[in-house]
Amino acid sequence: MTPRPPTVCPSRADLDDLDLLRRGLYGPTAGPRPLRLSPEDLDAALTAGAVEVVDPEGVPVARLEDVGRVGDEHVTGRPVWLSAPSSRPFQDLHLTGPRDLSGEQVVLVAAADEVPDGVPAGATLLVLASTSLDGPLAGTATVRAAVSAAASSGARVLVVPVPDDLDRRAALLATLGLVPTTGSGGAGRPAEGGDHPAGVVLLLTGLSGSGKSTIARTVATRLVEGGTPVTLLDGDVVRRHLTAGLGFSPEDRRTNVRRIGWVAAEVAHHGGIAVCSPIAPEDAVRRDVAAMAADRGARFVLVHVATPLEECERRDRKGLYARARRGEIPDFTGISAPYDVPDEPDLRIDTTGRDVGACADEVLALLDPEVGRAR
């Protein structure tokens, strides 16, 4: 019996890309771009020879068949379209298929501040932005600005999610009879800005006892004292509430970190700062969290609290290392389970012999440009 293919909900950019492909907006010969999967979904997809793609509402969008591996983490395949994704804001303005705009006066708009004053009557404002409920709010802000400008001039507004790949973007514009330089000079970049501030997901990762939770709490305290609202998602606190019922198996630990990442991305999506401090031992799962943040239009900051195992074990305030050494705790990171050391974190800190305030200062220095603090 053929194994059941995995069901995945990819990033908003990937879903937008599939929707453009389904509508023929890349031309008749285009295929799907490689889809990034978690290691377990990648293995399942290769075994089953297929993967089912759903949107955030669980609506089956496409089934990729005859899948093949691309690099270490991606697959691609032949798309079989299952249904249109869930409706989104300004749905009636979205292009439903190829259209020849070459004979029209077209202004490309990729951000709210690019909407021109005094739009000519009869012009078309082509907004390159994603307006999904689960996407960056800057997209809807851009469309609102375009609709407002068009209302007083008789112009019309068309919307299409902007691909983040330059070749795909060029193919899209060519399908519409346009060239990449048509209209606004900024239309070659993804939509950003608008009337909503970008938030931050700060993830501190490290061994138990490394000091990551202490640094996280100090950073959060300093931000709150300075008037910046913060959501602190500490590993132990989260396990009592958000992930109550999960154990410490490898799969449950992955789920724990991904849930933290999802909540943090939602906080950042609305302009907030989420400070997270799980152990997060697996590089692939940390990258999943980074992708969640990016998909919600947020900045992702990774801090590796690189306190050596010997120092963490010496501290051992909870007695966990001693129990792990006795075999009482299976799959304990650093003892009986691996820790993937981040290759290129935004900051690496060893807290051995250091004052926590000084460590927090280093983290806050990373956040200054985003939170408007002057230290």
The model's pLDDT over 222-267, given as tens digits with 9 standing for 90+, comes to 888 788 889 999 866 787 778 778 888 889 989 999 999 999 999 9
Who contacts 295 (Cβ-Cβ below 8 Å, separation ≥6)? 11, 12, 13, 134, 135, 265
Does pLDDT of 52 surpass 60?
yes
Mean local confidence (pLDDT), 64-72: 93
* pTM, rounded to two decimals: 0.64
Phi, psi of 246 (to 5 degrees): -80, 145
pLDDT of residue 154: 84
The stretch 105-112 carries a mean pLDDT of 87
Q: What is the rounded average pLDDT of the residues 1-9? A: 88
pLDDT at 151: 87
User: How much of the chain, in percent, has pLDDT values that exceed 90?
Assistant: 53
Q: Residue 62's closest CA among 22, 92, 25, 114?
A: 22
Residue 244 CA to residue 241 CA, distance in Å, equals 5
Is pLDDT above 90 for 160? Answer: yes
78-82, 87-91, 251-255, 369-373: least confident range: 369-373
3-class secondary structure, 365? helix
CB distance 238 to 260 below 8 Å: yes
Residue with the two structure tokens 């799980």: 278
Is 373 within 8 Å of 367 (Cβ atoms)?
yes
pLDDT band at residue 125 using 50, 70 and 90 as cut-offs: very high
pLDDT band at residue 332 under the 50/70/90 scheme: very high
State the helix-helix crossing angle for 356-371 and 212-225, rounded to 10 degrees: 50
Residue range 271-284: mean pLDDT, rounded: 94
The reported pLDDT for the residue numbered 117 is 80
Count CB-CB contacts under 10 A for residue 59. Answer: 14
Helices (H), ranges, the chain: 12-22, 39-48, 137-151, 166-175, 212-225, 235-240, 250-269, 283-295, 309-315, 320-325, 356-371
23: exposed, middle or buried (C-beta count within 10 Å: 0-12, 13-18, 19+)? Answer: middle
Are 366 and 204 in contact by the 8 Å Cβ rule? The answer is no
DSSP code at position 94:
B
In this predicted structure, what is the pLDDT of residue 46?
95
Query: What are the start-end ranges of the H helices in 297-348?
Result: 309-315, 320-325
Pick the range with the lowest mean pLDDT from 152-166, 260-274, 342-356. 152-166
pLDDT at 176: 92
Residue 137 has pLDDT above 60, yes or no: yes
pLDDT at 179: 67
Q: What is the dihedral of CA 129, 134, 138, 144, to 10 degrees?
A: 70
Average per-residue pLDDT in the chain? 86
What Å distances lie between residue 277 and 214, 288, 316, CA to CA? 9, 15, 17
Per-residue model confidence (pLDDT) at position 136: 66
pLDDT tens readout for residues 175-223: 999 864 444 433 333 333 344 456 999 999 999 999 999 999 899 988 8
